[in-house]
């Protein structure tokens, strides 16, 4: 509901006042608002690295280019900014494919313990660097499941990369897989990192929503990781949720309906 106040002056009948009108904002207008906000966010996110690069280019042009050490550092900064912009544009393209439902879910039999081990392997360098341990716990009997491996890998990568980004050195990550009462496959990624304030929880899956923009940017984040994860899980007909306690850690859990679970416990 939107309230609109219109002042009125009717000298002829000697009335001045205000008319208050209650307008029902339709679904269409809400969509339009969301679209405008999204475009504003995208523009802002692209302008930030471009402005940074412009100032470094100007500094180089103003003489820093003569100082090899300084020049080298500036080029490094610009490379980072460029890489972040490429990541952002890739994330945006990915989201737009998911939005237009062009991204077909193509399921193949996937060995769950292998899939989870491979995620941990992909991040082994970053995990070592921050001395973060990772543990994988798969409920007995979970083996092959039909899912879109590329897309679920993307979800896992986003969640594990967040867990590493927002967990201090020496922390611990646990990935669990289990079967729910409804026979869905449930996978969770839990960390004992910085956590998320309660007030931010309801918006955490929104596009570009970040608890701490500066921190996320420094970590190379685009603010789109969780929204992409949610879209992929939705495309699979599944659900995703996040629990977190500030200062203690975060757990993101997604569940997928699975048609076929082979390989019962022996
Ligand atoms: P980003 O690229 O900023 O990491 P995401 O969409 O992946 O974007 O996450 C949105 C925000 O949620 C992050 O900026 C961060 O504030 C918060 N967040 C996500 N995962 C975690 C986590 N495991 N621990 C703490 N905060 C997290």
Predicted complex: ipTM over 0.85? yes
For residue 89, the Cα-to-chain-centroid distance in whole angstroms is 14
Residue 206: half-sphere exposure toward Cβ, Cα within 13 Å:
14
User: For residue 103, which of 152, 59, 66 has the smallest C-alpha distance?
Assistant: 152
Sheet holding 133-138: strands in order across? 133-138, 172-179, 185-191, 249-256, 239-245
CB of 193 shorter than 6 A to ligand 1: yes
CB of 221 shorter than 6 A to ligand 1: yes
The 8-class DSSP code of residue 160 comes to H
CB of 250 shorter than 6 A to ligand 1: yes
Residue 221: half-sphere exposure toward Cβ, Cα within 13 Å:
28
Q: Annotate 44-55 with DSSP letters as a single string.
A: HHHHHHHHHHHH
Q: How many residues does this entry show for the chain? A: 266
The pLDDT tens digits of the residues spanning 72-114 come to: 999 999 999 999 999 999 999 999 988 887 668 889 999 999 9
Report phi then psi at 181, rounded to 5.
Answer: -60, -35
Mutate which of 83, 132, 158, 204 to test ligand 1's pocket (most atoms within 8 Å of Cβ)?
204
What's the rounded Cα separation, in Å, for the pair 134 and 186? 18
Place of tokens 């972040």: 84
Mean pLDDT of 110-128: 97
Beta-carbon contacts of residue 91 (< 8 Å; ≥ 6 apart): 222, 224, 225, 228
The pLDDT tens digits of the residues spanning 13-32 come to: 777 888 888 777 777 788 88
- The pTM (predicted TM-score) of the whole model is 0.84
Burial of 6 (0-12, 13-18, 19+ CB in 10 A): exposed
CB of 160 shorter than 6 A to ligand 1: no
Is residue 43 within 8 Å of 35, Cβ to Cβ?
Answer: no
**Could you tell me whether strands 172-179 and 133-138 are parallel, antiparallel, or unpaired per DSSP bridges?**
parallel
What's the rounded Cα separation, in Å, for the pair 241 and 201? 10
Q: How far is the CA of 197 from the centre of ligand 1 (A)?
A: 12
Of 39-43, 90-94, 103-107, 246-250, least confident by mean pLDDT is: 103-107
If one counts every other C-beta atom within 10 angstroms of the C-beta of residue 94, the result is 18
Q: Which atom of ligand 1 is nearest to the CA of 217?
A: 3
CB of 196 shorter than 6 A to ligand 1: yes
The 8-class DSSP code of residue 152 comes to H
**Residue with the nearest Cα to atom 13 of ligand 1?**
210
CB of 224 shorter than 6 A to ligand 1: yes
Q: How far is the CA of 219 from the centre of ligand 1 (A)?
A: 10
What's the rounded Cα separation, in Å, for the pair 185 and 257? 6
Q: How far is the CA of 18 from the centre of ligand 1 (A)?
A: 46
For residue 263, pLDDT over 60 is answered with no
Q: Which atom of ligand 1 is nearest to the CA of 209?
A: 10
């Amino acid at each position: 509901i939107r309230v609109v106040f219109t002042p009125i002056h009717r000298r002829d009948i000697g009335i001045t006042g205000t008319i208050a009108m209650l307008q029902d904002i339709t679904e269409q207008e809400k969509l339009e608002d969301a679209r405008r906000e999204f475009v504003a966010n995208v523009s802002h996110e692209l302008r930030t690295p471009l402005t940074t690069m412009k100032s470094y280019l100007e500094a180089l042009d103003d003489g820093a280019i003569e100082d090899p050490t300084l020049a080298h550092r500036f080029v490094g900064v610009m490379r980072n900014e460029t890489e972040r912009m490429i990541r952002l544009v890739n994330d945006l393209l990915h989201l737009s494919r998911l939005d237009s439902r062009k991204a077909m879910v193509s399921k193949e039999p996937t060995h769950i313990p292998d899939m989870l081990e491979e995620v941990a392997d992909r991040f082994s360098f970053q995990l070592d660097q921050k001395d973060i341990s990772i543990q994988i716990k798969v409920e007995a009997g979970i083996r092959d499941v039909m899912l879109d491996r590329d897309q679920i890998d993307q979800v896992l990568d986003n969640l594990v990369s967040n867990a590493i980004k927002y967990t201090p050195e020496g922390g611990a990550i646990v990935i669990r897989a289990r079967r729910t009462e409804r026979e869905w496959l449930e996978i969770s990624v839990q960390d004992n990192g910085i956590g998320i304030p309660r007030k931010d929880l309801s918006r955490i899956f929104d596009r570009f929503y970040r608890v701490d923009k500066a921190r996320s940017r420094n970590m190379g984040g685009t603010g789109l990781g969780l929204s992409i994860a949610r879209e992929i899980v939705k495309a699979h007909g599944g659900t995703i949720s996040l629990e977190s306690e500030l200062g203690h850690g975060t757990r993101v859990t997604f569940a997928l309906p699975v048609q076929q679970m082979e390989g019962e416990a022996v």
